[in-house]
Structure 1
Amino acid sequence: MEIIFRLGMVMELFSIDTVTMNGIEIKNQTFTECNSINGTSSLLSDGILGLSYPDLKFNNDTTILINMWNRGLISKPLFSIYLNPDKNSSYESGLIFGDIDSSKYTGSITYVPVVIQIYWEFLMDSIYVNSTIINSSLYAIIDTTTTFILGPTQSIDTLNIALGGTYDSSAGMYKVDCITRSLSSFSNVTFIVGGEVFSLTPLQYILTLNNGVNDYLCYTIFVPFNIYDSRGNLYWIFGTYFLYRFYSIFDFVNNQVGLATSISYNWTKSFDESLFNNLSKTTQSIISTASSSTQTTIVTSMGIQMNTFIRHTLNDIALLVGLFFIKTV
């Protein structure tokens, strides 16, 4: 059987073997062997670990999460994700099977039901820029193989225009003026999920690119992209830039996705002071660095933390709701 995967991999042979992760043996795990990888030479990984619902799996094989649960290797059929954008932090990014690491988020967890059991798809209430509503009743998924936040073209256009952006067809993204505009002139972008507020600040959603000496291009991370689910609904994709700010939980038995404010929420990278109409003159509480002196390795005796496999650079972060790129060590 030949299967053409969406990232350019050709998989032909189904196999069964024992998979070992963090010292835990998972016996009789079905996987597919790949004999060709096209267009993925930049990926610093050696394989893909599926974490979607079984409907997305090939050959109706058991996912590794369910296999671990059935064998009593984890106490709960769920996994959670913490991504840290700060390469210098003592907290590493982590994938946890079977538990939730309460040291990686603050406040409470907001849960929303999964509406389509394939990509852990859920319904988002609305999106705002200040008091302006961009859209409501939106379908969305969380995907760590996606870097930015992708959404239906019409909604993304409206959002970026509200932020003062102009479309750059050469980049396929919206450009904003980060030279003459002050940081305070940019609004927060707010997502309402499960009745709760999840906001991104300007320094969290503006991407700055150095195009030469004292020459910068700035884009938002909100990218137009029309993609439809199995029922014909357009949906949003929340990538790693969203996960840097919000801890996520995927609960298989209760069919729900959970979100909470990450301990890395307030971290921002350093910017040239010439940006945003002289950044040094702008006081923003968001410009801070989250720091810590301890690191959790195992959440409970029945929780497996896989922080060894998840790196900080964007090329290495390729784990996901549906897929997890594995780097062998």
Structure 2
Amino acid sequence: MLDLKQGLKILSIALTASLSAGVAQAAEVIGGPTGAQFSLANLPDGNYRFCSSRPPSDINRVSGICFRFRKQGSAVTGDYYYPYEGSSLCLNGRVNGNTVTGQAVERMPENAGAPDRLGSEQLYDWRPEGFLQVRRGIYVDDRNRRDAIRYRSALLNLNSFYQYNAGTVLPPADCPTRPNSAIGTDPDADNLREVGTSMYYEKPVYLDTSSIEPLGDSRYAYTTVIGVPSRLSETEYRLDCDDLETVQVLRSRYYDGDGDLQEIEEVNQAVPANPDNPSSTQRYNASRYICSEYAGLASRPAG
């Protein structure tokens, strides 16, 4: 058996090793601020952690808002996060000086409401501090869960950030939009009626007749599909048979080659359905068919 003296010695060694390991893993400022001493663009390839504030000298932890990232050439992928709050966003882009531009993905808490300026075409502050600005946000993932937003434009200003030791947590390799893939169901060909051609995909556009839903007062909802047999996109519309040359686009869903739902774009905007305009002929043809078959448009007197 160990005597008391030997036991205390072993305990002392273990405690010293434990404290040494803790100090080794503690957050430590090793450079900065950016702009005054160096720029991110000039850093060699590797993993990094930068934060907006420098902690007091007696505190070994990060301070402010942080960006943990991997850099390869000018390519940057990382997490922009609030260390003691839990909010974060994954950013993938290019660095120029101390500014990263690209796209960002924000994972949403369950039952969270949409940001007020989700689809804005103008850059706006993601949070009040103003280091990160985003625009053109769209929902991705399953239409019923809506647990991620992709900002198709993001601008992160890292001027005056401090470099910390990289730490033990690795930055992300990419910015996945969701943990699980949502597999779409190919449309039933028996319910599809060709109504035109997509100028973007250069493929036929089909009206899914099974989607037609009467809303009352000669108004209907319907869905068009591009991509048969493998679906590429769907768009939901609402129309009023008293105005065939305008329809309301509600939302579009986009799929990859495996049938996985990739993006949901909320539109909710009136668009033309002009029979003489190639880009909108398919909308007019769909509306004309629905109103003829379901609202008796053909039997109405002219004017």
TM-score, with length taken from structure 2? 0.29
Q: Which has the larger radius of gyration?
A: 2
